Chains A and B, each alone.
Chain A
Amino acid sequence: MTVHFRTMSGSMTLVDLKKVSVRAGAVRILDDVTVTIAAGEAVGIRGLNGSGKTTLLRLLATLHPLSGGSGAVLGADLDTSDKYDVRCAIGYIGHQPGLYPELTLLENLSFVARSRGLTESDARESLRMVGLEGAIDRRAGHTSHGMQRRAEFARLLMTQPTLLLLDEPHSALDADAVELVDGLVDRTLDRGGAAVLVSHQPDRLESLVGRTYEIRGGTLR
Chain B
Amino acid sequence: MSDSKNSPGFFRQSRIVARRDLKRESRHGEILLVTLPFGGIALLLVPLAIGTDTETLHRIGPGMFWVIVMLFGVFGAVRQSNAETSSQHDLVALIGLDPAAVFIGQATATFLLLVVFEVVLGVAAIVMYDLTPVGWGVLVAVVLLVAVGLSLLGTLAAGIASSSRSATALVPLLVAPMSVPLLLGATQSHEAIRLGRSSLAWVLMMTIIVLLLAVVGVLSARTIQEI
Chain A residues near B (Cβ < 8 Å): 58, 61, 63, 65, 84, 87-88, 90-92, 94-100, 102-103, 107, 111-112, 114-118, 122, 125-126, 139, 157-161
Contacts and interface: CB of A to CB of B under 8 A. Distances in A.
21 contacts: A63-B94, A84-B222, A87-B95, A88-B4, A88-B95, A88-B96, A95-B87, A99-B88, A100-B88, A102-B23, A103-B27, A111-B20, A112-B95, A115-B96, A116-B96, A117-B4, A117-B5, A118-B3, A125-B1, A139-B27, A158-B1
A116 B13 CA distance: 9
Contacts of B5: 117
Contacts of B91: 98, 112
- The list of the 6 closest CB pairs from A to B, nearest first, reads A117-B6, A98-B91, A102-B27, A160-B2, A88-B96, A96-B87
Given A103-B23, A159-B2, A160-B1, A115 B8 contact: yes
B222 A117 contact: no
Nearest to A91: B94
Interface of B: 1-8, 13, 16, 20, 23-24, 27-28, 85-88, 90-91, 93-97, 222, 226
A111 B95 CA distance: 10
Contacts of B93: 63, 87
B88 A115 contact: no
A111 B22 CA distance: 13
Given A103-B23, A107-B23, A115-B13, A98 B2 contact: no
Contact of B24 (A65, A88, A97, A100): A100
A185 to B, nearest CB: 17
Contacts of B95: 87-88, 112, 115-116
Given A114-B16, A117-B8, A126-B1, 8 more contacts: A61-B94, A63-B90, A84-B222, A103-B24, A115-B95, A116-B2, A117-B6, A157-B1
Contacts of A88: 4, 94-96
Given A97-B87, A159-B2, A90 B28 contact: no
Contacts of B7: 116-117
A114 B4 CA distance: 11
Nearest to A158: B1
Contacts of B1: 118, 122, 125-126, 157-160
Contacts of B23: 102-103, 107
A161 B6 CA distance: 16
A203 B168 CA distance: 42
A90 B8 contact: no
B24 A94 contact: no
Contacts of B13: 115
B90 A118 contact: no
B87 A94 contact: yes
Given A61-B90, A90-B94, A103-B20, A96 B2 contact: no
Contact of A115 (B16, B85, B86, B87): B16
Nearest to B88: A98
Contacts of A159: 1-2
A102 B24 contact: yes
B163 to A, nearest CB: 12
A161 B91 CA distance: 13
Contact of B90 (A92, A126, A160): A92
B81 to A, nearest CB: 16
Most buried by B among A63, A96, A99, A115: A115
